[in-house]
């Protein structure tokens, strides 16, 4: 009897232990399943967030590309409009001044959209004034006369003695030599409070005048002048021609003067900027 009770007690203890193990196993399984569900939910949320971020980035990139393309198109359209204005005014000038050499480029770095042109004409000469105003005006509008020209192109017609107008300077001797470039040497002399630096290239004489009173030096301007000549060249001419530059550039100063002969005409371009003058003459036709 005692033995049976002992066996019964052992059976009950075993059953209790088995039930505990089963519960713990179920609890662990439940916890593991819950953890997996949470990880799966986190993974889905992360994927959705990444997809949303990628979509947002794609939209932003598309907008940026569209904005850049729009800006480039606007800039290109503006440049075409500026070029068309010079082209339109020049075409009108060719009708008014047949046979006169005219530049196709305005030579400006900015302000082309407000380019204005007026001219005068007689039997002996044509004069064209290029200026930048507050707004674009029609060719020869009376209001353009009040604007300071940045360039003035003159044609003197049927000239008997071109040399008297051109002022070409023969190479000087017996004066201090100044090295302008590795293969170009000029001469320097002082007179009337100024220093003159001269060099010659082909049919052209180049003279730079600097004011001693203002402490100006002619060499830097002469070096820039030579560089512009080598880059852009100058009009074809059979006659000896000249370039004269006063140091210092300012609106309306017209400190650069380039004079040459073409047929029976003598042309002269005055400009406030030497580079502007060379750009305009490069497009002359």
Question: What does the pLDDT profile of the chain (285 residues) look like in tens digits?
Answer: 444 444 444 444 444 444 443 444 444 444 444 444 444 444 444 444 444 444 444 444 444 444 454 444 444 444 555 568 999 999 999 999 999 999 999 999 889 999 999 999 999 999 999 999 999 999 999 999 999 999 999 999 999 999 989 999 999 999 999 999 999 999 999 988 999 999 999 999 999 999 999 999 999 999 999 999 999 999 988 899 999 999 988 778 899 999 999 999 999 999 999 999 999 999 999
First-to-last alpha carbon distance for the chain, in angstroms, is: 135
How far apart are the C-alpha atoms of 136 and 112, rounded to whole Å? Answer: 9
Beta bridge partner(s), residue 179: 185
Q: Decide if 265 contacts 161 (C-beta within 8 A).
A: no
pTM of the full structure: 0.72
Q: For strand 204-211 and strand 241-246, is the pairing parallel, antiparallel, or unpaired?
A: parallel
């Amino acid at each position: 009897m005692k033995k049976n009770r002992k066996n019964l007690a052992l059976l009950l203890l075993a059953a209790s232990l088995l039930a505990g193990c089963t519960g713990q196993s179920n609890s662990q399984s439940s916890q593991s399943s819950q953890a997996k569900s949470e990880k799966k939910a986190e993974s889905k949320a992360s994927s959705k967030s990444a997809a949303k971020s990628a979509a947002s980035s794609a939209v932003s990139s598309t907008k940026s590309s569209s904005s850049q393309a729009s800006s480039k198109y606007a800039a290109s359209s503006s440049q075409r409009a500026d070029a068309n204005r010079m082209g339109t005014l020049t075409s009108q000038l060719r009708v008014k001044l047949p046979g006169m050499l005219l530049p196709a480029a305005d030579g400006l770095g900015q302000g082309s959209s407000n380019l204005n042109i007026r001219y005068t004409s007689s039997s002996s000469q044509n004069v064209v004034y290029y200026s930048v105003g507050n707004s674009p005006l029609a060719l020869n509008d009376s209001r353009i006369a009040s604007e300071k020209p940045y360039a003035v192109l003159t044609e003197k017609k049927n000239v008997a003695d071109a040399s008297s107008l051109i002022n070409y300077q023969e190479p000087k001797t017996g004066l201090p030599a100044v090295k302008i470039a590795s293969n170009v040497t000029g001469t320097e002399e002082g007179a009337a409070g100024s220093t003159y630096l001269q060099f010659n290239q082909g049919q052209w004489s180049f003279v730079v005048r600097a004011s001693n009173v203002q402490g100006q030096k002619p060499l830097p301007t002469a070096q820039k002048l030579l560089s512009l000549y080598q880059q852009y060249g100058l009009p074809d001419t059979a006659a000896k021609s000249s370039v004269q530059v006063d140091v210092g550039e300012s609106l309306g100063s017209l400190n650069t003067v380039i004079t040459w002969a073409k047929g029976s005409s003598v042309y002269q371009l005055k400009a406030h900027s030497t580079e502007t003058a060379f750009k305009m003459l490069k497009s002359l036709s």
